[in-house]
Amino acid sequence: MNAAPAADAGSADTGFTHRQILVIMSGLMLGMFLAALDQTIVSTALPTIVGDFHRSDLLSWVITSYLLASTASTPLWGKAGDLYGRKRLFQLAIIVFLVGSALCGASQNMYELILFRGIQGIGGGGLISLVFAIIGDVISPRQRGRYQGYFGAVFGISNVIGPLAGGFFVDNLSWRYIFYINLPLGILALVVTNRVLTLPERKRTVQIDWWGALLLVAGVSAVLLATQSGGKDYAWTSPQIVGLFSVGALFLIGFVLRERATPEPILPLELFKMRIFTVSNIVAFISGIAMFGALAFLPQYLQLVHGVSATASGLLLLPLLVGLLFMSIASGRYISRTGNYRWFPFVGTVLVTIGLALLSRIGAHTSLVVVSIDILIFGAGLGLFMQVLTLVVQNAVPRQQMGVATSSVTFFRSMGGTLGASALGAVLTARLMVELPRYLPRTPATNGGDNVAQVIQSPQAVNALKQTNPALHEGIIQAYSHAIDTMFLVAVPISLLSVVAALFIRQVQLRDSPAASPVTDEQPVTAEADGVR
């Protein structure tokens, strides 16, 4: 079945022309770029920030505070957008993010920076979730595939530009500019969205479920704190970590019970009765563990083992962007033309799994060409399914629940990524403790966790050993490459679970208008109607 002509589709279905949609998307992508960039740009500057404030013990909290606030607030932004309208809320998220950015840049100590990163994270959670919900208001599901490549490109570009920009500012200006750069971009996004974004007004008399919000934030925060601190500050079996997991579980159980009773739940539980909604979120969560957990350590491998600069490590991630961008655009155009999406999540998760398996074979002297090919395959897999999950969920739910359904995919992917980065990071560190004595049996580098952390966090110090102590340098990069191989190998079976889950995503008819009633997964399109089996 052929789609309507591209030039007319937007106007007929949504009241926006193709040109107007592109202008709207420019503002939305700027907002999303702010949040996506901030997840990668900070990592390059962390050693310098720690050096300025002399608090290496608080280093991980600069990232953790942002992740906590962003992940925990995502469902709240989605629900509030459904209740009060998304345009003003999106602009509020930009303002919160910019205030947090300005305060981060002006921080005078690590405690201030950690607090202000939390404020930044609250705004970032709104930016990511509301962007996709607004797209659901503006573009019909059938036509949305045409544009999904642009948003895939934003994530890919942020993963490349983040380390590049962070390295540039640290080397040439100040680490504070990694936060100040957000201000002109955010102001531009505010101006564009204010001028061109027109969405339906919502005039419902509603109340936010604040008790549910409190239980959700407390439960998610406790679980994420446990995963961030486990294996670093405390042993995984310590009373502190077990206690945090237990408290988190109790709060989340309380949240579920609260959601069943309240008339305006933050995350309506009846959505999970829809198989396509539940399976999509399962795929998002599992793939997030393997995907973001693995991606977090690729720049570290390139800098530490291959001795490249932070800027060069960002450039070496360009194959990820190429694979993601090409496959995202190609799959999106195919979906818009045919209405068929079912096999993209499956093929995408298979490619991601293959990419992880290939990355588990990289060594201390593996050619960068081979590493780039592995990263290209990994990125191609991401491009095939990342945006499709959001599309199928938005297509399946009523319009009044678009925001909360969209934010759920972002929430579960973010939760998976945060848990994955912590769990796989723990695997990497534990394996490094085993590998270092094998290659450095009589050196101080094997004397404890502090030295292991120093090896991981200071590639410049390791690279300097090439001249002063080549044997020690070779031992360190051999140990690290074997440790990261194990980490990628552990991610493979996790990713395989997302492959299995993706098989349960069924084909349903894509709506031709954002306002049309959804076709649920209990009513799949027939082969005769849409060429689907």
pLDDT of residue 27: 76
Backbone angles phi, psi at 326, to 5 degrees: -65, -50
From 88-97, 310-319, 492-501, the region with the lowest mean pLDDT: 310-319
Three-state SS for 352-372 is HHHHHHHHCCCCCCCCHHHHH
**Residues 519, 522, 526, 532: is their CA dihedral positive or negative?**
positive
Task: Look up residue 221 and give its two tokens.
Answer: 């925060």
Tell whether the model's pLDDT for residue 87 goes beyond 90. Answer: no
443/144: higher pLDDT: 144
Q: Which residues contact 200 (CB under 8 A, 6 or more apart)?
A: 85, 137
Q: Where are the beta strands (DSSP E) in 79-213?
A: none
Q: Which residues contact 460 (CB under 8 A, 6 or more apart)?
A: none
Query: Which pLDDT band, with edges at 50, 70 and 90, does 533 fall under?
Result: very low
Instruction: Compute the CA torsion angle 346, 352, 357, 361 (nearest 10 deg).
Output: 160
Percent of the chain with pLDDT over 90: 7
> What is the distance between the alpha carbons of residues 103 and 117, in angstroms, rounded to a whole number?
9
Q: What is the three-class DSSP state of 222? A: helix
Helices (H), 173-297: 177-180, 182-196, 210-229, 239-261, 275-295
Q: What is the three-class DSSP state of 234? A: strand
> What is the distance between the alpha carbons of residues 251 and 161, in angstroms, rounded to a whole number?
38
The answer to whether the beta carbons of residues 143 and 332 sit under 8 Å apart is no
Q: Which of 506, 497, 501 is nearest to 527 (CA)?
A: 506
Task: For the domain made up of 6-200+266-527, give the CATH fold.
Answer: Growth Hormone; Chain: A; (1.20.1250)
> What is the distance between the alpha carbons of residues 271 and 396, in angstroms, rounded to a whole number?
10
- Tokens 């780039």 identify what position? 372
pLDDT in tens, 111-121: 888 889 889 98
In sequence order, what are the beta bridge partners of 234? 230
- Tokens 């191989």 identify what position? 485
> What is the distance between the alpha carbons of residues 265 and 268, in angstroms, rounded to a whole number?
5
Q: Which residues contact 242 (CB under 8 A, 6 or more apart)?
A: none
> What is the DSSP code string of 35-50?
HHHHHHHHHHHHHHHH
Tell whether the model's pLDDT for residue 186 goes beyond 50. Answer: yes
- Please work out, in degrees rounded to the nearest 5, the angle formed at the alpha carbon of residue 64 by the alpha carbons of 107 and 212: 110
Backbone angles phi, psi at 2, to 5 degrees: -85, 145
Tell whether the model's pLDDT for residue 50 goes beyond 80. Answer: no
pLDDT in tens, 392-421: 887 777 777 777 777 788 788 878 877 777
Give, in order, the Cα–Cα distances in Å from 509 to each of 342, 392, 407, 512, 520.
Answer: 11, 10, 22, 9, 8
Environment class of residue 207 by beta-carbon count within 10 Å: exposed (0-12), middle (13-18) or buried (19+)? exposed
Query: Which pLDDT band, with edges at 50, 70 and 90, does 15 fall under?
Result: low
From 164-168, 216-220, 472-476, 508-512, the region with the lowest mean pLDDT: 508-512
Identify which of 162-166, 182-186, 265-269 has the greatest average pLDDT.
182-186
437/358: higher pLDDT: 358
Query: Which pLDDT band, with edges at 50, 70 and 90, does 318 fall under?
Result: confident
12/374: higher pLDDT: 374
Task: Look up residue 214 and give its two tokens.
Answer: 């409190």
pLDDT of residue 514: 55
pLDDT of residue 269: 80
Tell whether the model's pLDDT for residue 532 goes beyond 50. Answer: no
Query: Which pLDDT band, with edges at 50, 70 and 90, does 338 fall under?
Result: confident
Query: Which pLDDT band, with edges at 50, 70 and 90, does 8 fall under?
Result: very low
> What is the distance between the alpha carbons of residues 177 and 104, in angstroms, rounded to a whole number?
10
Helices (H), 173-209: 177-180, 182-196
